[in-house]
A = this chain, B = another copy of it.
Amino acid sequence: MDFFFNPEGIAVVGATTNPLKGGYAILKNLLTGYRGNIYPVNPRYQKIDGLPCYPSVSAITGHVDLVIVFIPAKLVPAAIEDCVAKGVRGVMIESGGFAETGQDGRALQQSLKDIANRTGIRLWGPNCMGLVDALHSHVFSFMDPYSLKHGLLLPGKVSLVVQSGLLSAGFLVDIMSHRIMGISKVCSVGNKIDVNECDLLSYLLKDINTEVIGLYLESFSDGKLFADLCRQSAKPIVALHGGKSKKGAEAAMSHTAALAGNYKIISGALAQIGVTEARDFHQMMDLCRSLAAVSRPVDRPGRIAILTFSGGSGIVTSDFIEEQGLSVAELSPATRDALARLFPDWMPVSNPVDLWPAIEKHGGTNIDVYSMALKAVLDDPNVDAVFIHTFAGNFRIGLNIADLAEQTRAAGKPAFVWLLGRHEEAFRFKEAALSLGIPVFQEISRAVECLAAVFHQKNPSSVVERSQEKEAAIPLPAELNNILETASGPLDEYTTKRILKAHGIPTVEEEIIADAAQCEKISSRIGFPVVMKGLQQGKVHKTELGLVHLGITDARTALRSFETLMEKMKGQGRILIYRQVEGKIELILGLLRDPQFGPCVMLGLGGIMAEIISEAVFAPAPLAEQDALELISRLRGQKIFDGFRGEPPVNRKDLARMIVALGDIGLKYPRIQEIDINPMIIGENGIVAVDATIVLG
């Protein structure tokens, strides 16, 4: 992939002198920063901008690693063939007019794919804006050349992979010119015909100039590979998934002709594989730059010292800190003493630390109140990070940004800044802070959210442990194995539960009864009340068919039920009996096959709770026990597992093991399309699957 980033020789097919065309902008942008040979290609010109212009790529004599194409879609296949003939390694197709435009475009796009498959040439795009590498001033993009003037490109540690031209062009100009952040590389992937987010993620994970990766994706080309890459990443990854709502997804379809995945599954997958999910463009950049500025605080719970010049903003900050799962640090006695010395006598020391009275007290002296207070809180072992409020352009509220950078570096603790100020002064302050690596924010809530993201990062080492946890596969009785290999559609409840049980998922004790004698014997042995069900091949809606008899309290009723059910089924089924399970908590546990992420487990609340909060969490398999525990903790309402109203707490590890097993079943048997365990009841004797269905494809 490196030939896309650092090519030896670039040709531009569609180069032109017409400033309204993309080929013009691409050439201009290359001339600004790229140091290798540049070859304009266009049969209509002899020279462009003093460079010799070639009729075709194959007519170029020099070495060409990369070709950037901006010509009408229908001319692209021939141009690619010409690149193949020349021995070019990669082509960025930046023109549109492919799958995003309908039937004909899809066919055209497929023809490009065929060339790539046949020849091995790598194709990036089409319908994309290529690459911007701010560190090397490589702008392989048709973005407006005017935007690049005045030293716009601001190198940084964050690289982006984006399925939207905007984020690699106008948005980039905005954030760099506003001194919000610098950038390492931005890759605009467009229709992802060949090069996709996984290729680029792999490359960026190894790139020494990339410390954090941000992704804007409307679809996932290979969810499983993506998940594996993220799980193994030591670099923080932030992702924004566009196309959550129905309308959004519709737009996604026509925009890049990509399948937008189910939002909850994607959200669950991102959480599980340690990716920080973003929700808006600027917010995504704020998360990225925060994670890039600050290294992962190890074993630090996130106790924040707040230095402010306003009581009100201290209060609002405290509110957000608790809301985001961080805490307002309890300052140690030494810190309180140090601060008390700065303050007027009447001023009680507390956190948030309101510096204004100290600023007033020391007005006109050389005492730098901010610097001294900062030292006091950074020295405090109870403080994990500092959040400082300042105002640029007021001579009394003087935060020395260089001192701040130096002190936080020495202490090894992050400092975030909330900045107010006059327009010009604030801009200069942000510029200085950016160069010193201090994250500055315009909004308190955003700053705290980003601080929380820093402290709540998953520990990547746990991923390695997980891969070592896997146990040996469980052998399945031949009979059941045979069913899984040959049957289709829904399996009956009894068969389903036998399969689940064989994989370690506890099920109700149950038996099939064939005659009245068995009915009497087995029902008495199991103990009343019992449930009896008529099972018929392919019929899943047993209740609606009158094939479920609940709350049978004696042998006589059991026999009557047996007879009624036998009659109803007219010999076309069998009768299942099990002891009725009582429990206050009902869960739904499921497995489904996501087109992007493969088998995913689902955990939801069942019974009446499902009606009220219809809450469910998802995670792609395979899961280690720790993943499953995290999945459980993501469920809203999960605190019922800790015991309530005298109920015993649920053994979360037991539940986690069942979730892991369910995911493994999904991976092991690709013919299983769906598993629905509903209800999974938490009763006196632990967690049991009471009813369940496996659906085969």
**A residues adjacent to B (C-beta < 8 A):** 20, 96-97, 100-102, 104-105, 144, 146-147, 152, 162-167, 170-171, 173-174, 177-179, 216, 218, 240, 242-248, 250-252, 254-256, 279-283, 309-316, 318-323, 327-328, 346-348, 350, 352, 354, 357, 363-364, 391, 393-397, 420-424, 426-427, 442-445, 584-585, 605, 608-609, 611-613, 636-637, 639-640, 644-645
**A175 — nearest CB in chain B belongs to which residue?**
B420
Q: What are 26 sample pairs from A and B whose C-beta atoms fall under 8 A apart?
A: A20-B363, A20-B364, A20-B396, A101-B347, A104-B346, A164-B312, A164-B315, A166-B309, A166-B312, A170-B391, A173-B421, A173-B422, A174-B426, A177-B423, A178-B423, A242-B315, A245-B322, A245-B323, A248-B315, A254-B350, A280-B320, A281-B316, A584-B608, A608-B645, A609-B609, A611-B640
A283/B323 in contact, CB under 8 A: no
Known: A164-B312, A312-B163, A640-B611. A319 touches B174 (CB 8 A): no
Partner of A246, one of B102, B322, B423: B322
A394/B323 in contact, CB under 8 A: no
- A637 to B611 CA separation, bound complex (whole angstroms): 8
Across the A-B interface, the 3 shortest Cβ-Cβ residue pairs: A164-B312, A255-B311, A166-B310
Residues on B with beta carbons closer than 8 Å to the beta carbon of A246: 322
Partner of A640, one of B281, B395, B612, B639: B612
- A138 to B584 CA separation, bound complex (whole angstroms): 65
Nearest-neighbour CB distance to chain B for A289, whole angstroms, equals: 15
**A347 — nearest CB in chain B belongs to which residue?**
B101
A243/B147 in contact, CB under 8 A: no
Nearest-neighbour CB distance to chain B for A511, whole angstroms, equals: 29
A162/B608 in contact, CB under 8 A: no
Residues on B with beta carbons closer than 8 Å to the beta carbon of A422: 147, 152, 173-174, 177
Known: A174-B421, A240-B316. A283 touches B445 (CB 8 A): yes
Residues on B with beta carbons closer than 8 Å to the beta carbon of A636: 613
Residues on B with beta carbons closer than 8 Å to the beta carbon of A218: 312, 315
Partner of A243, one of B254, B319, B640: B319
Nearest-neighbour CB distance to chain B for A107, whole angstroms, equals: 13
- A395 to B612 CA separation, bound complex (whole angstroms): 52
Residues on B with beta carbons closer than 8 Å to the beta carbon of A584: 608
- A166 to B147 CA separation, bound complex (whole angstroms): 36
Nearest-neighbour CB distance to chain B for A373, whole angstroms, equals: 16
- A644 to B608 CA separation, bound complex (whole angstroms): 8
Residues on B with beta carbons closer than 8 Å to the beta carbon of A216: 312
Partner of A312, one of B165, B357, B639: B165
Residues on B with beta carbons closer than 8 Å to the beta carbon of A104: 346
Residues on B with beta carbons closer than 8 Å to the beta carbon of A147: 393-394, 422
Residues on B with beta carbons closer than 8 Å to the beta carbon of A162: 312
Which interface residue of A167, A421, A636 has the most chain B CB atoms within 10 A?
Answer: A421
A318/B254 in contact, CB under 8 A: no
B611/A314 in contact, CB under 8 A: no
A255/B363 in contact, CB under 8 A: no
A316/B242 in contact, CB under 8 A: yes
Partner of A170, one of B167, B394, B644: B394
Nearest-neighbour CB distance to chain B for A219, whole angstroms, equals: 11
**A312 — nearest CB in chain B belongs to which residue?**
B164
Residues on B with beta carbons closer than 8 Å to the beta carbon of A318: 245, 247-248, 250-251
B255/A312 in contact, CB under 8 A: yes
Residues on B with beta carbons closer than 8 Å to the beta carbon of A442: 282
Nearest-neighbour CB distance to chain B for A149, whole angstroms, equals: 9
Known: A247-B328, A283-B445, A421-B174. A164 touches B313 (CB 8 A): yes
Partner of A280, one of B242, B316, B609: B316
B144/A394 in contact, CB under 8 A: yes
Partner of A319, one of B146, B164, B167, B245: B245
**A251 — nearest CB in chain B belongs to which residue?**
B315
**A442 — nearest CB in chain B belongs to which residue?**
B282
Partner of A245, one of B243, B255, B321: B321
Residues on B with beta carbons closer than 8 Å to the beta carbon of A611: 639-640, 644-645
- A391 to B247 CA separation, bound complex (whole angstroms): 24
Which interface residue of A20, A316, A363, A644 has the most chain B CB atoms within 10 A?
Answer: A316
Nearest-neighbour CB distance to chain B for A553, whole angstroms, equals: 14
Nearest-neighbour CB distance to chain B for A392, whole angstroms, equals: 9
Nearest-neighbour CB distance to chain B for A179, whole angstroms, equals: 8
A322/B247 in contact, CB under 8 A: yes
Which interface residue of A147, A218, A247 has the most chain B CB atoms within 10 A?
Answer: A247
Residues on B with beta carbons closer than 8 Å to the beta carbon of A323: 244-245
B640/A251 in contact, CB under 8 A: no
- A250 to B216 CA separation, bound complex (whole angstroms): 41
B354/A255 in contact, CB under 8 A: yes
- A93 to B620 CA separation, bound complex (whole angstroms): 62
Residues on B with beta carbons closer than 8 Å to the beta carbon of A166: 309-310, 312-313, 420
Which interface residue of A97, A315, A612 has the most chain B CB atoms within 10 A?
Answer: A315
A352/B251 in contact, CB under 8 A: yes
Residues on B with beta carbons closer than 8 Å to the beta carbon of A177: 421-424
A396/B101 in contact, CB under 8 A: no
**A314 — nearest CB in chain B belongs to which residue?**
B251
Nearest-neighbour CB distance to chain B for A372, whole angstroms, equals: 19
- A444 to B282 CA separation, bound complex (whole angstroms): 9
**A101 — nearest CB in chain B belongs to which residue?**
B346
Residues on B with beta carbons closer than 8 Å to the beta carbon of A644: 608, 611
**A612 — nearest CB in chain B belongs to which residue?**
B637
Starting from the known contacts A144-B394, A166-B313, A254-B348, 8 additional A-B residue pairs (CB-CB under 8 Å) come to: A163-B312, A166-B310, A170-B310, A173-B422, A179-B423, A244-B322, A252-B315, A612-B640
**A102 — nearest CB in chain B belongs to which residue?**
B346
Residues on B with beta carbons closer than 8 Å to the beta carbon of A613: 612-613, 636-637
A427/B420 in contact, CB under 8 A: no
Residues on B with beta carbons closer than 8 Å to the beta carbon of A350: 250-251, 254
- A246 to B146 CA separation, bound complex (whole angstroms): 52
- A240 to B320 CA separation, bound complex (whole angstroms): 13
- A636 to B605 CA separation, bound complex (whole angstroms): 16
Residues on B with beta carbons closer than 8 Å to the beta carbon of A420: 166, 170-171, 173-174
